[in-house]
Amino acid sequence: MAEFYWSRVALAGSLLACWPARGSQTPQGVQSPSAIDSPKTVQSQPAGTQFDEATRLLQQGKYDDAIGALQQLESLHPAMKGLSHELGAAYYKKGDFVNAIASLKKAREENPGDAEAEQLLGLSYYLSQRPAEAIPELERVQTWFASANVDASYILGICYIQTKDYPNARKAFAKMFDVPAESAASYLFTARMLLRQDFGPVAEEYAHKAVALDPKLPLAHQLLGELYLYHSQMEEAITEFRKELEINPGNATAYYKLADGYSRQQKYDEAERLLQRSIWLDSTSTGPYILLGKVLEKKGETELAVRALQRALAMDPNNPIPHHLLGQAYRDLGKNEEAERELKVAGQLEQGKNSDKNSRP
């Protein structure tokens, strides 16, 4: 849940970043002298200067100071136009979505044409895990802009998924990728998004629909193979990965996934051959090197397994999995000191990952 939350924050944050700074313009009817140095002096400054100072603090990431300055300004000039908008945006940037919702609702009431506040309100509902309330806000924004922001379409689609409105989710993702809503591609994109949200059964249904509409659609058979692999249906997974490679024989990931299926069937020679092809096509991915290390270890070729795992660690030294596998390989070679070192590092990295997850809201 924590990883999902922070991925949502990152996506929504990129949407806010694309808009011009609202605070760069003084509220209507207020003159803007030069900025002050501290929000503590807000009561003795002209309203425009107070507003500019709050904006400056917000741009510097001093969200609490900016909110404090805006609240003081609100107490002195409660009727100032645009103030609720800025306060809502400040709360949003801080991640205080409950207060952001309250201020942005007020901003929308003050100015029904404030599309930016509307979109921020929808995003705040979404980030507060209230997708049903986010949908109408984001839908209205989608109709206001001829070219909708990609992040907004994505978040709207995710809200539809979370409320189990899959047809509208497909339409949102089709719009995001600029494909027809009834096309095979739209079903494939939606299936991938459904899988990322742990809606496996519906993802499988949509992937089958994509294949039915276009049997030669790239990546559709691969997605089905991944679903079967997840459910340990090895024969079905292998069949789908082979179909994918018939369509696109240069797909490095399909070779890797097919090798995974064979390795689980203990067909290590076939798995090794496929992993070599995957690596030849794409030497930048750590997954094939890690799986190759496992396969070579199973075949008793421990020295070669060590090389593969060392290569994986050179690419991703903070991944605990290759450290753990390398520790096991060193132990098999009788290199106990190296083995203990790698196993210790693996444990520390895994503990750090778990602590980081637990520290997030």
pLDDT number for residue 359: 53
Mean pLDDT on 42-62: 69
* pLDDT confidence of residue 251: 97
Listed range (143-152, 199-208, 271-280) with the worst mean pLDDT: 143-152
Which whole number is the average pLDDT over 148-172? 87
Task: Decide which of 40 and 242 is more confident.
Answer: 242
Which of 105, 129, 153 is the last residue in one of the domains? 129
Rg of the chain over CA atoms, in angstroms?
26
2 and 123 in one domain?
yes
Closest to 82 in 3D by CA, of 8, 28, 161: 28
Is 25 contained in some domain? Answer: no
Is pLDDT larger for residue 74 or for residue 202?
A: 202
Domain CATH code at residue 102: 1.25.40.10
Q: Of 27-31, 284-288, 323-327, give the lowest mean pLDDT range.
A: 27-31
pLDDT at residue number 143: 67
pLDDT the model gives residue 356:
62
> Residue 159 contacts by C-beta under 8 Å, 6 or more apart in sequence?
126, 131, 132, 134, 135, 138
Average of per-residue pLDDT values in the chain:
85
- Residue 54, token pair as written in the block: 């709050």
Tokens coding 161: 């998924």
Running DSSP on this structure, what letter comes out for residue 130? -
Could you give the CA distance from residue 114 to residue 105 in angstroms, rounded to a whole number?
11
Closest CA to 23 of 11, 13, 14, 35: 35
Q: Is residue 213 part of a domain?
A: no
Task: Please give the residue that has the higher pLDDT: either 49 or 283.
Answer: 283
Among 62, 94, 129, give the residue marking a domain's end. 129
Measured on CA atoms in the order 170, 162, 142, 59, is the torsion positive or negative?
A: negative
- On the question of pLDDT at 10 being above 70, the answer is no
Q: Is the pLDDT of residue 12 over 90?
A: no
Q: Please identify which residue in the block is written with the tokens 């076939």.
A: 270
- pLDDT at residue number 18: 41
Which residue is listed with tokens 């990883």?
A: 3
Pick the more confident residue, 54 or 97: 97
pLDDT exceeds 50 at position 27: no
> Which is nearest to 48 in space by CA: 16, 76, 68, 67?
76
- What the block records as the tokens of 278 is 């995957």
Q: Which two tokens stand for residue 156?
A: 């709207």
- Identify which has the larger pLDDT, 146 or 127: 127
Mark whether 115 and 148 lie in a shared domain.
Answer: no
Residue-wise pLDDT for 84-129, tens only, equals 898 998 999 899 999 999 999 999 999 988 888 888 899 999 999 9
| Residue-number span of the structural domain to which 156 is assigned | 132-206
Q: What does the alpha-carbon distance between residue 105 and residue 111 come to, in Å, rounded to a whole number?
A: 10
Q: How many domains does the chain have?
A: 4
pLDDT, residue 149, reads 53
Q: What does each C-alpha distance from 300 to 12, 110, 130, 290, 294 come to in angstroms?
A: 48, 72, 53, 16, 10
Share of the chain above pLDDT 90, in %: 63
Residues 276, 305, single domain; the answer is no
Comparing CA positions, the residue from 114, 158, 119 lying closest to residue 136 is 119
pLDDT of residue 202: 96
pLDDT at 308: 98
Residue 124 lies in a domain: yes
Model confidence at 58: pLDDT above 50: yes
Q: Are residues 78 and 4 in the same domain?
A: yes
Residues 82 and 4 in one domain: yes
- State residue 36's pLDDT score: 33
pLDDT at 244: 98
144: domain CATH number? 1.25.40
The angle, 0 to 180 degrees and rounded to 10, between the axes of the packed helices 63-76 and 83-94 is 160
Q: Give the whole-angstrom CA distance, residue 70 versus residue 87.
A: 6
* Angle between helix 220-230 and 200-213 (nearest 10): 150
Tell me whether residue 109 is in a domain. yes
Taking the alpha carbons at both ends of the chain, their separation in whole angstroms is 9
How confident is the model at residue 134, as a pLDDT? 94
Tens digit of each residue's pLDDT (9 = 90 or more) over 308-352: 999 999 999 999 999 999 999 999 999 999 999 999 999 999 988
222 with 174, same domain: the answer is no
Kindly state whether residues 291 and 329 are assigned to the same domain.
yes
**5 and 82 both lie in a single domain:** yes
188 and 213 Cβ atoms separated by less than 8 Å: no
